[in-house]
Amino acid sequence: MARNKYPEETVRKILDTAERLFIETGYDRTSLQEIIDETGLSKGAIYHHFASKEDIFYAVCDRIGQRNAEVLSQVRDAPGLNGLEKLRAMFKTSLQPERQAKMFCMMPYLMDNAKFLATEMRSIFTEVVPCFVDPIIRQGMADGSIRTEHPKELAEAMMMLSDMWINPIVQPTTPEEIRARCEIYNRLFQGFGVDGLIDQEIVSTLVQYAEMAHPPSSGGETQG
């Protein structure tokens, strides 16, 4: 009875510990046994709430996503900004180092894990676009700052390219590749009135993330 008396506290302890370990050493290098040892809980207590390390990781990501959603909601609902200004603010906010650096440290490359990649894509279509980007683009259409007859499709294209093509968490990416992709990205959306969405500050942040996200371990040889 006693071990199930405070299940919320147990779950919070597991997720707090796992998030810290994932950030410190990365998802791939963190074992389930380390999570068990660090929490001081029994294996049975962990398995009562989570079937695997992967399940724990999804729960950690959901929790980080909820924090990010709260911040993005503030941008979406901010008074005094037109649609384009909100779009720029959203991109800047979503890439702020104090939040996203955690994700870049802990995530495996998405191209190496089809399930994680599919989860990220599903999030774009079911959460990010309908809840945040599409409403902002529709406001931009109404106030004249964004030009399109297809707000949902424009939002999807913008987020798929930024999250899947530019994002260095998808696969190893060099600073030169990131800079080139960001330049092309900006040119692609100029015709919709979305000028300079990815500014130099964002480019520099993405380059930083590419350099810090993962040590170069995928090629087999590691220098030490």
Q: Is the pLDDT of residue 184 over 70?
A: yes
What confidence tens digit (pLDDT) does each residue in 149-179 have?
A: 999 999 999 999 998 999 888 888 888 999 9
Q: In this structure, what token pair is assigned to residue 144?
A: 């004249």
Alpha-carbon span 170 to 172, nearest angstrom: 7
Full DSSP string of the chain:
-GGGS-HHHHHHHHHHHHHHHHHHH-TTT--HHHHHHHHT--HHHHHHH-SSHHHHHHHHHHHHHHHHHHHHHHHHT-TT--HHHHHHHHHHHHT-HHHHHHHHHHPPPGGG-HHHHHHHHHHIIIIIIIIIIHHHHHHHHHHTSS--S-HHHHHHHHHHIIIIII-TTSS---HHHHHHHHHHHHHHHGGGT--SSS-HHHHHHHHHHHHHS--S-TTS----
pLDDT value at residue 106? 81
Q: Is the model more confident about 2 or about 128? A: 128
Nearest to 166 by CA among 129, 212, 198, 213: 198
> Out of 19-23, 103-107, 178-182, which region has the weakest mean confidence (pLDDT)?
103-107
> 62-212 maps to which CATH number?
1.10.357
Is the full-model pTM beyond 0.85?
A: no
Please report, as a single letter, which amino acid is at residue 108: P
Per-residue pLDDT, 100: 65
**pLDDT tens digits for 21-53?**
998 888 889 999 999 999 999 999 999 999 999
The structural domains of the chain, with segments of one domain joined by +, span 62-212
Report, as an integer, the average pLDDT of 127-148.
96
- pLDDT tier at 5 (50, 70, 90 boundaries)? low
Per the CB < 8 A criterion, the answer to whether 40 and 13 are in contact is: no
In this predicted model, what pLDDT tens digit does every residue of 67-81 receive, in sequence order?
889 989 999 999 999
Residue 6 has pLDDT above 80, yes or no: no
pLDDT value at residue 137: 97
Amino acid at 183: E
Asked if 192 and 84 touch (Cβ cutoff 8 Å), the reply is no
Q: Mean of the per-residue pLDDT values for the chain?
A: 87
Query: Does residue 101 register a pLDDT over 60?
Result: yes
Q: Report, as an integer, the average pLDDT of 7-14.
A: 92
